[in-house]
Amino acid sequence: MSKQNQKILLELVQRPDNSRCADCGAPEPDWASYQLGVFVCLNCSGIHRSLSSRVKSIRLDFWEDELVQFMKSSGNASAQALYEKAVPPYYYRPQQCDCNVLREQWIRAKYERKEFTGETKYPPVSYTTGFYEGMLWKKGKENTQFLKRKFVLSEREFTLMYYNKENESKGPKAVISIKDLNATFQPQKIGHPHGLQFTYQDEDRTRNLYVYHESAEEIVTWYNAIRAARYAYLKTAYPTGSNEELIPKITRNYLKEGYMEKTGPLQKEPFRKRWFTLDSQNRKLFYFKGQLDAEELGVIFIGTESSGYSVKACVPKHARGNRWTCGVSVETPERQFVFMCEQEREQREWLEALRKVSSRPMAPQDYTIEANMKCKR
């Protein structure tokens, strides 16, 4: 490649509109689709290549003069104006750290299926209709077996239902309110690239469902259909809320998950390995016997220091049965919880995540959550 062409490309990619990947927002993209005229990161370039979109490295590959001129006349902003003209506010826009199925389907939806160009589609795209039904592979509550189950989502009723058998005459196995429903992709945890976790309130317990679908497009459609229903619910519950306020509340990824060892309230009980999930939105640290459990063993509210909560590294006084040595202490007004991490890196990550929650001022709804949890003890 001529030095002049490389100079032009490097100048183009430093412009604010082009300085982040057109598809996932990763900084300093090194690749470009010279078919679409967008600058993308290495990961997204691989997805584009799998869709037969022509991509080149802006530093390593040879660029003909006409291709450089095309990139000069195109760029991320003009492509987004065309391909992202009508993205619904609830549609999840993947970030660089998101799983592959979300990023791939976002790229396919934009450039291959052209779902966001603003043109009326018939039949309409499934997640826009307010009603969705189909079969998902669901993990059994008491075992590890996944079985096909029918799921029905109704935006009008604000419910997600699923049926245990093909025969629907007995009614749904569960009717889940959209009010408390969260959906998050968990491919590693579930052991399937399209693994999705539903979490909701079932009376006083938090309930987890683990599902997947063989089709990448289908599972991402389910995810965005649920987000559409959640968005409609939030617009009803908070009529004056702006999109800026409501969109982060639609669904959320958990701030931190992983195994730690836990001892009892006297800190003399044997340490037992537990799976922990930190939900920063609700300020709750859940612990489970295993990572795919349907219900938690317990939950700890993470308040602020001014309310009597603290998080610090520690060495337990009476360590018994623990295999791990990197301690984390969570102090609440009622008691001290002691956990052990396998490695210092894990300890640092847990301390950072827990402190991120405890340093955030409590909102009115947080005080309600805290009071309700104290009542249940």
Over the stretch 145-161, which tens digit does the pLDDT of each residue have?
A: 999 999 999 999 999 99
Is the distance from CB of 358 to CB of 284 less than 8 angstroms? no
Task: Categorize the per-residue pLDDT at 343 as very low, low, confident or very high, splitting at 50, 70 and 90.
Answer: very high
Phi/psi for 248 (5° steps) reads -65, -20
CATH of 3-112, one of 1.10.220.150, 2.60.40.420, 2.40.420.20, 3.40.50.300: 1.10.220.150
Query: Would the pLDDT of 188 be above 60?
Result: yes
Structure tokens at 346: 């894990």
The span from the CA of 217 to the CA of 223, in Å, is 10
Helix (H) or strand (E) holding 31: strand 31-33
Model confidence band, residue 337 (pLDDT cutoffs 50, 70, 90): very high
Average pLDDT, integer, range 181-201: 96
With 0-12 / 13-18 / 19 or more C-beta atoms within 10 angstroms meaning exposed / middle / buried, residue 76 is buried
Above 90 in pLDDT, residue 13? no
Q: How confident is the model at residue 117 (pLDDT cuts 50, 70, 90)?
A: very high
| Residue whose token pair is 């009597």 | 308
Q: 24, 95 in Cβ contact below 8 A?
A: yes
Residues 6+ apart with CB under 8 A from 254: 184, 277, 278, 279, 280
Mean per-residue pLDDT, 295-299: 94
CA distance 254 to 282: 10
Give the total residue count for the chain: 377
Split at pLDDT 50, 70, 90, the class of 371 is confident
Three-class SS string for 69-121?
A: HHHHHCCHHHHHHHHCCCCCCCCCCCCCCCCHHHHHHHHHHHHHCCCCCCCCC
Does residue 112 carry a pLDDT above 60?
yes
Does residue 377 have a pLDDT over 60? no
- Looking at residues 289-307, what average pLDDT do you find? 94
pLDDT band with cut points at 50, 70 and 90 for residue 111: very high
Measuring CA to CA, which residue among 116, 230, 217 is closest to residue 176? 230
Lookup result for tokens 């009614």: 171
Question: Which tens digit of pLDDT belongs to each residue from 272-296?
Answer: 999 999 999 999 999 999 999 999 9
Map out the domains of the chain as residue ranges: 3-112, 131-249, 256-375
| DSSP code, position 330 | E
Rg (alpha carbons) of the chain, rounded to whole number: 24
CB 195 within 8 A of CB 291: no
**Residues 209-263: pLDDT tens digits?**
999 999 999 999 999 999 999 999 999 999 999 999 999 999 999 999 999 999 8
pLDDT of 24 = 96
pLDDT attached to residue 327: 92
**pLDDT over threshold 90, residue 48:** yes
| 320 confidence band (pLDDT: 50, 70, 90) | low
- φ, ψ (nearest 5 deg) of residue 223: -60, -45
Residues 6+ apart with CB under 8 A from 161: 151, 152, 154, 172, 174, 175, 176
Q: pLDDT band at 80, cuts 50/70/90?
A: very high
pLDDT of residue 203: 80
pLDDT of residue 376: 64
Q: Which two tokens stand for residue 26?
A: 């990763």
Q: What is the pLDDT of residue 321?
A: 65
Task: Give every CB contact of residue 213 below 8 A, 6+ residues apart in sequence.
Answer: 134, 135, 136, 137, 194, 219, 222
> Minimal CA–CA distance to 202: which of 225, 222, 173?
173
The lowest-confidence range among 3-12, 18-27, 193-202, 367-376 is 367-376
- Domains 3-112 and 256-375 are alike in CATH topology: no
How far apart CA 42 and CA 31 sit, in angstroms, is 6
**Spatial separation of the C-alpha atoms in residues 258 and 218, rounded to whole Å:** 28
pTM here is: 0.93
For the chain, give the mean pLDDT: 92
Report the topology of domain 131-249: PH-domain like (2.30.29)
Q: How far is CA 356 from the centre of its chain?
A: 18
Task: Quickly state the pLDDT bin for 167 (edges 50, 70, 90).
Answer: low
For the domain covering 256-375, report its CATH number: 2.30.29.30
